[in-house]
Amino acid sequence: MPRLPLPRTDARLGVVASPALAAPRRRRGRFNPTPALMLLPAVLTLLAVGIYPLIQAVNTSFKLYQINKPRQGTPYVGLDNYQTVLGDGFFWRSLLRTGQLFLYTVPLQVVLGVGIALLLGATRWRGLALVSRVLLVLPIATTPTVVGLVGRLVYDQEFGVLNWTLGLVGLGPVSWVGSATAAMFTIALTDTWQWTPFVALVALAGLTAVPPDIVEASKLDTDRWWDTFRHVQLPFLLPGLTAVLIIRTADILKLFDMVFVLTRGGPGVSTEFVSVYIQRVGFRIFDLGIASAQGVLLLVLCIVLSRVYITLFYREIEA
Amino acid sequence: MSTQTLGSARPALPARTAATTRARRGGVGALLQLLALLLLILFLVLPIYWMVATSLKTTGQTFAIPPRFLFQPTLSHYREIFSEGAVPRSLVNSLVVALASTVAAVVLGTPAAYALARFDFRGKADLWFWFISNRFISPIVVALPFFLLARDLDLLNSRLVLVLVYLTFNVPLVVWLSTDQFRLVPREVDDAALVDGAGPWRTFFQINLPLATPGIAVAAILCFVFSWNEFLFSLVLTREQTRTAPVEASNFMTDFGTRWGPMMATGTLIVLPVLIFAAFASRHLVRGLTMGAVK
């Protein structure tokens, strides 16, 4: 059997490709029951709670399954549900909206996050930088549901503290979730509050890996910070930022809690992202058949994206 | 790389650079930096402060214009939610579910992680991909069939369903993070144990597990935090008696109005323990969120 190529462990980049694969080989050829037994509990559990429900979802997606109409039963209807979903403008628009949100938030969060990391790394105000470094964890750890609830409080049109602050400089009052455009902006703003610190922490970890003397040397060569950033620091940041891109893609496809609490997908369907829409079809319209078909399509999208991303990210394995 | 502990959570900030010295010279630049830092801190802290402050205000003060930044705090909203009973019950539910799922994930996940770190076998790469791809699956996809299963088994009002469904993200998390940790245990330790006649299981339990404890503790904390923060599964899989705290908190918004004080008091009770955990494990929070890709 050909040996799997060992992944290059690129310490410089601070990213280890697939730690599991880096284990040295031993005992080729003879079946060794020990690792199989050690893996069995976790694998069986994940099969039971992860894979079996997915199989059930695929099964349900071929049925007429409206739980508020129990008398019609749950007959198989072939591909009818998929036909309905693929022709459903709301479904496509919810996907499009999810893509839009990604474009509104992630590039901005990356730029802001890297900016914050550079500021914290280079500022002369060491004490304040350390305090900020600790406080960056606050938004990330805050329960997303609570973020949505606090959003309701802060964005309130009449007594919200944000409109009062804007009033001080003669702006507003703004109806933060009153119109389609505003609600989309508000969701993007809230997501940015919660996840920019995440990018900043990842970028800080990357900057920490840059040997200080290389930065010093580059400062002797050039006076423009951009050159130092582009040629010395950015290469150390890229692996982390790739990870950020992957995680944020997955998270925006999953995004539910904060939006559900803050806008319920409204006004109208203006902030109904794909997970929120599927939840409405499944648990407020109670059409489990259609919702399962939508879920299966979303799952396919997630799997394709994850394969693409993992292949890019851990490309050493495929090489 | 040394064994990570909670205490060493914060990485050193990048060392002082030429930019530092330059900033010290330029007065305007330094002032701008100061301004940016203060703005950042306000941006991070104000929403949380506003939540805690609102939970300690009277209802009248909540609606006051201009908003009250300083006021005489009162615990009346906390007394209110504790005398009503739903919030404390939901906090207990959250605690029980998060703890049970965390313990189960550690018990199930650590042997698997050890096997991935130490042994070589066919299909290992595929298994690794499978574990890692769980991070991408949207919870709503899992929630739909789980709802039907739980309904058919008459488990819709039980905490067991939540414990099980939280394993879908907790087991992969424990596996990813502890595989890293087991790899840090030198192989010589294993070989020495083998020479002394210890079998692979004894080597795992008595030697590797204690040595990997700091990393496993971090994985456990992250499992707890993610379970504690979860909303969607609890929303669709539980009823009044088994609701977790985030769902209970959102129930203060009704068609007849929102009870801001009790809602913010509940929010504070949910978030504070997580923030304390996170402050200790801040660096590992990032590690957990990126599946160990960013150290």
* Residues B147, B150, B154, B156, Cα dihedral to 10°: -60
Contacts with B279 from chain A: Cβ below 8 Å? 134, 137
Q: Is B278 within 8 Å of chain A by CB?
A: yes
Q: Is B148 within 8 Å of chain A by CB?
A: yes
Count CB-CB contacts under 10 A for residue A40: 15
* Nearest by Cα to A104 from A201, A183, A200: A183
Q: Is B273 within 8 Å of chain A by CB?
A: no
For residue A148, give every residue at least 6 positions away whose Cβ sits within 8 Å of its Cβ, in sequence order, or none: A190, A257, A258, A259, A260, A261, A262, B250
Residue B290 and residue A247: Cβ atoms within 8 Å? yes
Q: What pLDDT score does A187 carry?
A: 97
E-assigned strands of chain B? Answer: 253-254, 257-258
Q: Is B12 within 8 Å of chain A by CB?
A: yes
Do you know the residue count of chain A? 319
Q: How far apart are CA A30 and CA A32, in angstroms?
A: 6
Cβ atoms of A191 and A217 within 8 Å: the answer is no
Q: Per-residue confidence at B13, pLDDT binned at 50, 70, 90?
A: low
Task: Assess whether pLDDT exceeds 70 at residue A318.
Answer: no
Q: Which fold has domain A87-318?
A: MetI-like fold (1.10.3720)
Inside any domain, residue B111: yes
Inside any domain, residue B23: no
Q: Is A60 within 8 Å of chain B by CB?
A: yes
Inside any domain, residue B5: no
Inside any domain, residue B22: no
Nearest to B225 among A28, A141, A307 (CB): A141
- How far apart are the CA of A16 and the nearest CA of chain B, in angstroms? 7
Nearest to B229 among A134, A143, A295 (CB): A143
Write the pLDDT tens digit of every residue in A217-227: 888 888 788 88
Q: Is A56 within 8 Å of chain B by CB?
A: yes
Task: Assess whether pLDDT exceeds 70 at residue B170.
Answer: yes
Q: How far apart are CA A231 and CA A228, in angstroms?
A: 6
Q: Per-residue confidence at A1, pLDDT binned at 50, 70, 90?
A: very low
Domain locations along chain A: 87-318
Task: Assess whether pLDDT exceeds 90 at residue A30.
Answer: no
Q: What pLDDT score does B14 carry?
A: 53
B169 phi, psi to nearest 5 deg: -105, -25
Domain count for chain B, please give it: 1
Write the pLDDT tens digit of every residue in A225-256: 888 888 888 988 988 888 888 889 989 999 99
Mean pLDDT within A281-291:
94
Inside any domain, residue B104: yes
* One-letter amino acid of B83: S
Residue A49 and residue B44: Cβ atoms within 8 Å? no
Write the pLDDT tens digit of every residue in A129-160: 999 999 999 999 999 999 999 999 999 988 89
Q: Is B45 within 8 Å of chain A by CB?
A: yes
CATH number reported for the structural domain that contains residue B156 in this entry: 1.10.3720.10
Find the closest chain A residue to B229 by CA distance: A143
Q: Is B231 within 8 Å of chain A by CB?
A: yes
Contacts with A292 from chain B: Cβ below 8 Å? 144-145
Q: Per-residue confidence at A124, pLDDT binned at 50, 70, 90?
A: confident
Domain that holds residue B270: 77-289
Residue with token string 């609701």:
B243
Inside any domain, residue B110: yes
Distances (CA, A) of B223 to A286, B59, B289: 31, 36, 11
Inside any domain, residue B4: no
Nearest to A306 among B67, B136, B253 (CB): B136
Cβ atoms of A38 and A53 within 8 Å: the answer is no
Contacts with A239 from chain B: Cβ below 8 Å? 293-294
Q: Is A260 within 8 Å of chain B by CB?
A: yes
Q: What pLDDT score does A16 carry?
A: 41
Write the pLDDT tens digit of every residue in B97-145: 999 999 999 999 999 999 999 888 888 888 887 887 887 888 999 999 9
- Residue B56 in tokens: 């300690």
Q: Per-residue confidence at A7, pLDDT binned at 50, 70, 90?
A: very low
> Residue B117 carries which DSSP code?
H
Inside any domain, residue B235: yes
Q: How far apart are CA B48 and CA A186, in angstroms?
A: 17
